[in-house]
Amino acid sequence: GAGVSQSPSNKVTEKGKDVELRCDPISGHTALYWYRQSLGQGLEFLIYFQGNSAPDKSGLPSDRFSAERTGGSVSTLTIQRTQQEDSAVYLCASSLDFENEQFFGPGTRLTVL
């Protein structure tokens, strides 16, 4: 597709379960970013990938969060042992390369019961 896509669009899970969120960036974009947006709040940077370099994980809130990017394209954000405070919209963005214009996907709304 032409834009960034994310799946699922909505995810409801029980506290303590693991979840995986997927992001398909725009074809040819080497940089990929994950953000979190809690209700009524701004965006919180989580992690970014640039090409084959080691990802910048400085924004991950705890060691329950991890992300990988396979083949420089699709990325998966994994949250282990989910907590209620993990409930948020998780947004993915991609750009041609780092410090270039970012384009956002529609987000995944995660609800932890």
Partner 1 sequence: GIQVEQSPPDLILQEGANSTLRCNFSDSVNNLQWFHQNPWGQLINLFYIPSGTKQNGRLSATTVATERYSLLYISSSQTTDSGVYFCAVQLDMRFGAGTRLTVKP
Q: Which residues bind partner 1 (CB under 8 A)?
A: 33, 35, 37, 41-43, 45, 48, 59, 89, 91, 93, 98-104, 106-107, 109
Residue 61 CA to its chain's centroid (Å): 13
Least gap, CB of 77 to partner 1 (angstroms): 15
Q: Are 13 and 21 in contact (CB under 8 A)?
A: no
> Which token pair is 96?
């041609």
* Pairwise CA distance, residues 98 & 113, whole Å: 36
Minimal distance in Å, beta carbon 81 to partner 1?
26
CB of 10 to partner 1, least distance (A): 11
